[in-house]
Amino acid sequence: MSKGTSTENKVLQRIIEEAWNLSPEMGATVEDVIALDPDPVDDGRLAELLTRVVEAITATPEFTRDRIANNELAAGVDAFVTRVIDEQSKVTEPVKKVTLRGRDNVEVGPVFPTPVFHKREVQMNKGFVRAEDIDLWGGNERLEIHLAQFRRENGRNPTSGELLEIMLCVIKLPGIDVDDQDDQFKIWALARSIAASGVRVPPIIDVDGTLLDGNRRVAACMLILHSQNAEFTFEEKQRAEWVFVHQLTTHAIDADRDAVVVSCNFEPDNKVDWPEYVKARKVSEAWQEVLALSPALPNKNEQATMKKELSKRFGLGPDTTVVNRYLKMVQWADAFEIHEVSKRGRDQFEAKHRASKYFQYFDELAKGQQPGGVAYTLENDDKFRAMVFDLLFDGKFKNWRQIRDLKVVHTNEDAMVKMQEAIDTTDIEDGQDALDMAVSIARMAQAANRELGANTRIEQFAKFLRELPVSAFTDSIRPENLRRLRDTLKIVDVQAKAVLGDID
């Protein structure tokens, strides 16, 4: 937990220089003594270190040999000690101290009850400091590999600003996965949460402003303050400027600091996040409220703007991907619950529990809204959709990947028979096996169809069109499918003329 300072470096350099002025042998001896001393040099440590240095000097053959013949060397050692102490007083820099401020009707004062970290009471004060007055902690083990890599490439420790750039992946370091290069420490996601709600858990700082816990939170505040894009508003930047913190007192010792670090990083807080079902419903409810307040039905662009504001309100940033995903999933969850309650007579809350348990499946059910996709198939076949909902309620899907295969099961009669068997059986494992078989049958049939080749497919399609009643074009085939057929036949006509020649 010890932290080196520029004062320490000056003191050590002064000791070494004075020893070399006495003699090269003593200079080398002093360097060895200092190199073996692991503790920082402060007022309390200086006398102890000098004593060890003098003992090392007076034990050298040069000092023993010349002490009787010439007392100047002995006097030089005494003068050496005196000069170092004098220089220490000259170069000693005032210890940096970050002063807490009162804000928002919160006064500076002791944290009560006294916090306990790793079975140790650690006295602290509470108050506000500017985010930019807090030094990101380079001793954070989360950054150990990154900092060692930076030191190897630059020959020094990074500044606080460079630490921020490392955490934001602005400084690219070899060996980090491509997927992690954009936001390895998830600072952007945290910044959006802070922009919406502020820093909810107080970072813990030392007297000099060095962080003991909360590197990511403070880094996120700095990101908000220095962001050059228009994502964060003036109000959000103001929210990030001052951070409510807990600060160790001037009486804190290293054992207190160690206890804070160990407790905050090794001991779990046992927090359980909200289920995604609950989060999505909160977003959906808020979206319905926004729509209700709109005087008229908003157009597509207006809805996009409203969703962007909603996304920022929930700390999700300006990208509306999550909001759109949640809204679609809730729509399918609602359809599932309505079906199970109204058609199958399930208890309302039992249906909700199942929807929450299998909520991720609704993400897959909502995908593929074009013909041939899962969502399209379910939306256009009520009976098939009911079968899928019943299988989902009974827990007969082994995994969400089977959802993707529903579109091929739907087009295969044998697979549909097995799917019905999966519904009819009361044994969950037997149902899972039957559904697994339905998927396998559909996959094999699909593979076989691919092997038939283009000629066979065209023969079958041409036969199908010739045998299709004319009335089907007006009574059965939807307009969008007629347009697709017409456009496809135009393409076929161009290709046929190119190969066969103009036969009109």
pLDDT tens digits, one per residue of 363-392: 999 999 888 899 999 999 999 999 999 999
Q: What percent of the chain has pLDDT over 70?
A: 77
Does residue 76 surpass a pLDDT of 70?
A: no
Q: Return the pLDDT at 34.
A: 67
One domain for residues 171 and 218: yes
List pLDDT tens digits, range 21-36.
Answer: 666 776 777 777 666 5
pTM recorded for the entire structure: 0.58
Q: Return the pLDDT at 64.
A: 60
One domain for residues 370 and 487: no
Does residue 500 surpass a pLDDT of 60?
A: yes
Number of residues assigned to the chain: 504
Nearest Cα neighbor of 439 from 390, 406, 393, 417 is: 406
Give, for 23, the enclosing helix (H) or strand (E): none
Rounded Cα distance between 289 and 297, Å, is 13
Q: Return the pLDDT at 173.
A: 72
The answer to whether residue 315 is domain-embedded is: yes
One domain for residues 84 and 210: no
Pairing of strands 242-248, 204-205: parallel
The answer to whether residue 28 is domain-embedded is: yes
Average pLDDT of the residues in 259-275: 77
pLDDT category of residue 313 using cuts at 50, 70 and 90? confident
Average pLDDT of the residues in 297-301: 90
List pLDDT tens digits, range 448-475.
Answer: 766 656 777 788 888 888 888 888 888 8
List pLDDT tens digits, range 224-239.
Answer: 998 887 788 889 999 8
Does residue 331 surpass a pLDDT of 80?
A: yes
The answer to whether residue 429 is domain-embedded is: yes
Report the range of poorest mean pLDDT among 138-147, 397-406, 410-419: 138-147
Give, for 445, the enclosing helix (H) or strand (E): helix 428-451
Specify the DSSP class assigned to residue 381: -
Which among 239, 266, 293 is the end of a domain?
Answer: 266
Contacts of 41 (CB under 8 A, 6+ apart): 7, 8, 11, 12, 49
The answer to whether residue 101 is domain-embedded is: no
Does residue 69 surpass a pLDDT of 60?
A: no
Domain hosting 469: range is 458-500
| Category of 163 on φ-ψ map: left (φ > 0), alpha (ψ -120 to 50) or beta | alpha
The answer to whether residue 103 is domain-embedded is: no
One domain for residues 120 and 81: no
Contacts of 13 (CB under 8 A, 6+ apart): none
Q: Return the pLDDT at 5.
A: 47
For residue 396, how far is the Cα from the chain centroid? 33
Which single residue is written with the structure tokens 């790793």? 118
Sign of CA dihedral 252, 253, 254, 258: negative
Using a 10 angstrom Cβ sphere, with 0-12 exposed, 13-18 middle and 19 or more buried, the burial of residue 52 is middle
Does residue 286 surpass a pLDDT of 70?
A: yes
Rounded Cα distance between 122 and 425, Å, is 62
Contact (CB, 8 A) for 215 and 205: no
**Total count of domains within the chain:** 4
Average pLDDT of the residues in 42-63: 63
Rounded Cα distance between 171 and 181, Å, is 9
List pLDDT tens digits, range 105-135.
Answer: 899 999 999 999 988 999 999 999 999 888 8
One domain for residues 177 and 65: no
One domain for residues 344 and 483: no
Q: Return the pLDDT at 320.
A: 92
Q: Return the pLDDT at 319.
A: 87
SS3 373: coil
One domain for residues 61 and 125: no
Contacts of 137 (CB under 8 A, 6+ apart): 210, 211, 212, 215
The answer to whether residue 98 is domain-embedded is: no
> Which one is predicted more confidently, 320 or 63?
320
Which single residue is written with the structure tokens 């662009």? 301
Q: Return the pLDDT at 372.
A: 86
One domain for residues 471 and 430: no
One domain for residues 142 and 168: yes
pLDDT category of residue 2 using cuts at 50, 70 and 90? very low
Which among 202, 233, 266 is the end of a domain?
Answer: 266
Q: Return the pLDDT at 184.
A: 75
Nearest Cα neighbor of 340 from 394, 282, 404, 275 is: 394
pLDDT category of residue 334 using cuts at 50, 70 and 90? very high
Max CA-CA distance within the chain?
127
Report the range of poorest mean pLDDT among 267-281, 326-340, 360-374: 267-281
> Which one is predicted more confidently, 267 or 443?
443
pLDDT category of residue 3 using cuts at 50, 70 and 90? very low
Rounded Cα distance between 251 and 220, Å, is 30
The answer to whether residue 171 is domain-embedded is: yes
The answer to whether residue 347 is domain-embedded is: yes
Does residue 198 surpass a pLDDT of 70?
A: yes
In b/e form, how buried is each residue of 147-158, taking b as 16+ CB within 10 angstroms?
bebbeeeeeeeb
> Which one is predicted more confidently, 406 or 152?
406
One domain for residues 190 and 312: no
Rounded Cα distance between 65 and 58, Å, is 10
> Which one is predicted more confidently, 146 or 434?
434
Specify the DSSP class assigned to residue 106: B
Using a 10 angstrom Cβ sphere, with 0-12 exposed, 13-18 middle and 19 or more buried, the burial of residue 111 is middle
Using a 10 angstrom Cβ sphere, with 0-12 exposed, 13-18 middle and 19 or more buried, the burial of residue 401 is exposed
Does residue 261 surpass a pLDDT of 90?
A: no
One domain for residues 429 and 377: yes
Which among 231, 266, 301 is the end of a domain?
Answer: 266
Report the range of poorest mean pLDDT among 16-20, 72-76, 275-279, 370-374: 72-76
One domain for residues 280 and 298: yes
> Which one is predicted more confidently, 73 or 363?
363
pLDDT category of residue 9 using cuts at 50, 70 and 90? low
Q: How far apart, in Å, are the Cα atoms of 194 and each of 4, 185, 224, 318, 494?
A: 32, 15, 9, 14, 59
